[in-house]
């Protein structure tokens, strides 16, 4: 629960990726990589999570900026959401990412919040955030999954003890763009597809991404494969500013000869990870993006959804978002 002040910690401010990785490797589980600090300082102020050593990444050279490459675009993990939404390059080639960044929180938060922080942030389940001993916090209960539990914002798929969802708006867009996440640790660099970067409770209930102690997300690499596609992004939240999504949708589509030749679609806030809507992609490919196709896609998107007491509304909401993504791209 909220306390009067945060606990003291040692602050380190490296100026290079090598120094940052050395520090994170040295501190292990007691180290905390801080990007913009919006999520970090919430945890620390509420005393729900704590790290004795915080590695501030704001001064690390090379971790920010948008760079055109031979294969596409590379975005430094410390690039702010404001920079992404305002980038002419991103707007021209990958507008779904610019649109998703634009819908994150408020302008003030986007000015400091980073793309790396947005995809790596922890879930917003209020039981977990307020410090109860739920499964995700190392306990033996899910307080949201009870007859009295408040689960309006929770999952429709992927429940495995924990029923919390990913809160990121940019995550579905990165999955749709087939982005790759560059991760560096003491052993070197590895690339992980965005779709595999996020993990569910069946893999590790105490993490939402593949990042482990000692790992540093350095960049997001977007290939040219989907550049210039017909994009769609929509987020539904209780308020237009600040709120996390109730459901969001991202899609990329190419239409040739009046029919969909290629499509990728993902939804957020319906599962612990961004949910790739592969069944929709299969149904739509080869068909005209008209009302009939959109209706079939919407129905297919919600098959197998298992709602809880207070989130039944997410099913027709997701269905309608999918229909609009097909029809209005």
pLDDT of residue 176: 98
pLDDT of residue 321: 98
Residue 4 has pLDDT above 90, yes or no: no
Which strands make up the sheet holding 216-223, listed edge to edge? 66-68, 72-76, 216-223, 180-185, 188-193
Distance CA 14, CA 37 (A): 16
Q: Which residue has the tokens 């120094």?
A: 19
Residue 25 has pLDDT above 90, yes or no: yes
pLDDT of residue 81: 98
Distance CA 308, CA 22 (A): 44
Greatest CA separation for the chain: 63
pLDDT of residue 258: 97
HSE-up (13 A, CA, CB side) for residue 175? 27
Q: Give the strand pairing for 53-56 and 31-34.
A: parallel
> 158-191 pLDDT, tens per residue?
999 999 999 999 999 999 999 999 999 999 999 9
CATH: 2.130.10.10, 3.30.43.10, 3.60.10.10, 3.40.50.720. Which one for 10-59? 3.30.43.10
127 phi, psi to nearest 5 deg? -65, -50
pLDDT of residue 256: 98
276 phi, psi to nearest 5 deg? -70, 125
Residue 2 has pLDDT above 80, yes or no: no
Whether 149 contacts 162, CB under 8 Å? no
Q: Report the pLDDT averaged over residues 32-55.
A: 93
Residue 284 has pLDDT above 60, yes or no: yes
Distance CA 73, CA 175 (A): 15
Domain ranges within the chain, ordered by starting residue: 10-59
> 214-266 pLDDT, tens per residue?
999 999 999 999 999 999 999 999 998 889 999 999 999 999 999 999 999 99
Residue 149 has pLDDT above 60, yes or no: yes
Please report which confidence band the pLDDT of residue 109 belongs to, taking 50, 70 and 90 as the band edges: very high
Q: Report the pLDDT averaged over residues 261-277.
A: 98
Whether 115 contacts 262, CB under 8 Å? no
Give the other-Cβ count within 10 Å of 153's Cβ.
Answer: 25
Q: Which residue has the tokens 């090598």?
A: 18
pLDDT of residue 295: 98
β-pair partners for 103: none
Q: How confident is the prediction for the chain on average, in pLDDT?
A: 96
């Amino acid at each position: 629960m909220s306390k009067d002040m945060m606990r003291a910690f040692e602050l380190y401010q490296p100026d290079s990726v090598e120094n940052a990785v050395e520090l994170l490797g040295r501190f292990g589980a007691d180290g905390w990589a801080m990007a913009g600090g919006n999520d970090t300082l919430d945890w620390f102020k509420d005393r729900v999570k704590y790290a004795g050593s915080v590695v501030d990444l704001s001064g690390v050279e090379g971790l920010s900026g948008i760079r055109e490459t031979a294969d596409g675009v590379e975005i430094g993990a410390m690039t702010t959401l404001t920079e992404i939404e305002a980038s002419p390059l991103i707007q021209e080639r990958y507008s779904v990412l610019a649109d998703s960044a634009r819908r994150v929180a408020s302008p003030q938060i986007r000015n400091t919040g980073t793309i790396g922080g947005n995809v790596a942030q922890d879930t917003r389940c209020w039981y977990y955030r307020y410090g109860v001993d739920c499964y995700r916090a190392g306990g033996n209960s899910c307080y949201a999954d009870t007859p009295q539990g408040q689960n309006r914002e929770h999952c429709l798929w992927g429940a495995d003890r924990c029923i919390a969802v990913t809160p990121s708006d940019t995550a579905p867009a990165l999955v749709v763009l087939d982005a790759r996440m560059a991760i560096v640790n003491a052993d070197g660099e590895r690339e992980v597809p965005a779709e595999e970067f996020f993990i569910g409770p069946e893999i590790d209930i105490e993490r939402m991404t593949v990042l482990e102690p000692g790992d540093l997300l350095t960049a997001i690499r977007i290939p040219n494969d989907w550049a210039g596609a017909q994009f769609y992004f929509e987020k539904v939240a209780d308020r237009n500013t600040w709120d996390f999504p109730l459901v969001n949708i991202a899609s990329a589509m190419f239409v040739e000869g009046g029919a969909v030749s290629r499509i990728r679609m993902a939804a957020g806030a319906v599962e612990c990870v961004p949910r790739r809507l592969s069944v929709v992609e299969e149904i739509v490919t080869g068909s005209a993006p008209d009302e009939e196709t959109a209706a079939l896609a919407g129905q297919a998107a919600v098959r197998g959804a298992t709602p809880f007491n207070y989130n039944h509304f997410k099913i027709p909401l997701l269905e309608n978002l999918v229909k609009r993504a097909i029809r209005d791209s």
